Structure 1
Amino acid sequence: MVKNKITFKALLRLFALAVLIALSVFFAYEFGIIELFLNEEKLKNFIHSLGPLGFVGFILLQAFQVVAAPIPGEVTGLLGGYLYGTFGGIVLSTIGLTLGSVFAFILGRVFGKPFVEKVVDPLVLNKFDYLLHHKGAFLVFFLFLIPGFPKDYLSYFLGLSRLSVLEFTVIAGVGRLLGTVLLSLGGDYLRHHEYEKFLSLAGIAAVVMLIVWLFKEKIERLLRLWHVSKYRKNKKKK
């Protein structure tokens, strides 16, 4: 009897998941949402068309680009700085990115592993599966802090972990801050036609990204070893 109940619940979840994905794909293509995110000029026009509520639209755009991973967030990040300046861009982007990250986290938690396996790249699942076995809030924060790591995918994936919603909210909000500051600053430079400063910033970001890309495998391996060894030490103490 219990087995039948579990099966019925699983079928209900899968059905709800199928409906959710179908609706998301339909609306994304029907209203040109995917194309919108890939065209900076269309994004600007869309935000301006909202008038006084433009900042709300921008927050929702930032949230959506996280949930609809892997839509690139660099365009919307730069757009925030361009439209609202460095400080405004940072604040609004942080709110949007945090909301999107938490929503993805909750989706992963509610619909479970079958859903996450459909959304997240299998390579990401394999590389970071150790995060599911025991809580490692500091390590997750560190991963969010490093440029180039798949934060949008991790948001779904970490819904399966032992992190609480509150812990993840803090990690997602603060951990994305470095990238948000850089993109907002870059957008502000473009707004004021300070192209030399923008190119200098882009150059520094490119060098950092290159270093991370070159040593990505080693960084991931070291983090895994550090996390596992720390867990074993804590287990021995108990």
Structure 2
Amino acid sequence: MTKNKLTFKALLRFSALAVLIALSVFLAYEFGIIELFLNEEKLKNFIKSLGPFGVVGFVLLQAFQVVAAPIPGEVTGLLGGYLYGTFWGVVLSTAGLTLGSVIAFILGRIFGKPFVERVVDPMVLNKFDYLLHHKGAFLVFFLFLIPGFPKDYLSYFLGLSRLSLLEFTVIAGVGRLLGTILLSFGGDYLRHHEYGKFLGLAGIAAVIMVIVWLFKDKIERLLRIWHISRYRKNKQKK
């Protein structure tokens, strides 16, 4: 009887969350929020229209694009550098991205696997399922450093892991820095009409992305093998 009550409560909670998500998505499309993220000019005008609250608005926009994965974060990353320069672009983007990652992590932890399976791409779930068997904080940090890695999805997924909220917050904040710095530099170049530097930076980023894309599967396979073997050794010691 108790088990049935718990199952009913879990089902009720999950149903309420599903309705809330569906309503949020509907409102996002109805009021043009999704379109806003895909149009750099509209985003720029929106932030400027907030006046003194523009900084808070930008941080929340960065957080939202993580929670509403897979909305691309490149536009908001460039926007940060364009509006606030490289230094403050990095600071504000990092604050927003970390906040969004933590929210996704907490949602995954509170609502559990059924919710995460609804939000996260099944391929990501299957590929990184091994991360749930052992904490592996260093490995997760390394994965966050890889350009083009599905960090937004992983934030939800890691809510099911053994990582503490503090550990994840540090990993999410520091692990995204490289990409954030590059995007902020790019936005700052555009702000000062330094198109040659921007194209040079874009070229370097493109080369890195191609290299990562070519060797990503091998890198992920090696990391998976290393992680599992380390987990087994630690288990044998105990």
What's the secondary structure of 1:215's corresponding residue? helix
Gaps of 5+ in 2: none
Deviation at 1:114, TM superposition (A): 0.8
Distance across 2 between alignment mates of 1:137 and 1:20: 32
Is 2:209 aligned against 1:209?
yes
1:134-186 deviations in Å (ceiling 9; x for gaps): 11000000000110110000000000101111110000000000000000010
Post-superposition shift, 1:60? 0.4
Gaps of 5+ in 1: none
Deviation of 1:20 (Å): 1.8
Cα drift, residue 119 of structure 1: 0.7
Map of 1:10 onto structure 2: 10
Query: CA–CA distance in 1 between the matches of 2:235 and 2:125?
Result: 25
Q: Percent identity?
A: 88
What one-letter code is carried by the residue in structure 1 that aligns with 2:157? Answer: F
Report the Cα offset of residue 237 of structure 1.
2.1
- 2:200 counterpart residue number: 200
Aligned residues: 238
C-alpha distance in 2 between matches for 1:71 and 1:10: 29
Distance 2:22 2:236 in 1: 48
Query: d(CA) in 2 for partners of 1:207 and 1:22?
Result: 38
AA aligned to 1:181 is: I
Query: Matched residue of 1:70: which SS?
Result: coil
| 1:18-69 per-position Cα deviation (integer Å, ceiling 9, x unaligned) | 1221221122112100000000000000000000110100000000000000
Shift of 1:11: 1.4
| Matches for 1:221-236 after TM superposition, within 5 Å | 221-236=221-236
Per-residue deviation, 1:14? 1.6
Structure 1 residue runs of 4+, over 2 Å off?
Answer: none
> CA shift at 1:225, angstroms?
0.2
CA RMSD of aligned residues (A): 0.8
Q: Distance in 2 between matches of 1:113 and 1:133?
A: 14
Give 1:68-79 correspondences, 5 Å limit.
Answer: 68-79=68-79
Alignment correspondent of 1:22: 22
1:72 maps to amino acid? P
Query: Residue 43 of structure 1 aligns to which amino acid in structure 2?
Result: L
TM-score, normalised relative to structure 1: 0.98
| Matching residue's letter, 1:234 | N
The residue identity in structure 2 corresponding to 1:69 is A
Stretch moving more, 103-112 or 14-23: 14-23
Distance 1:155 1:18 in 2: 19
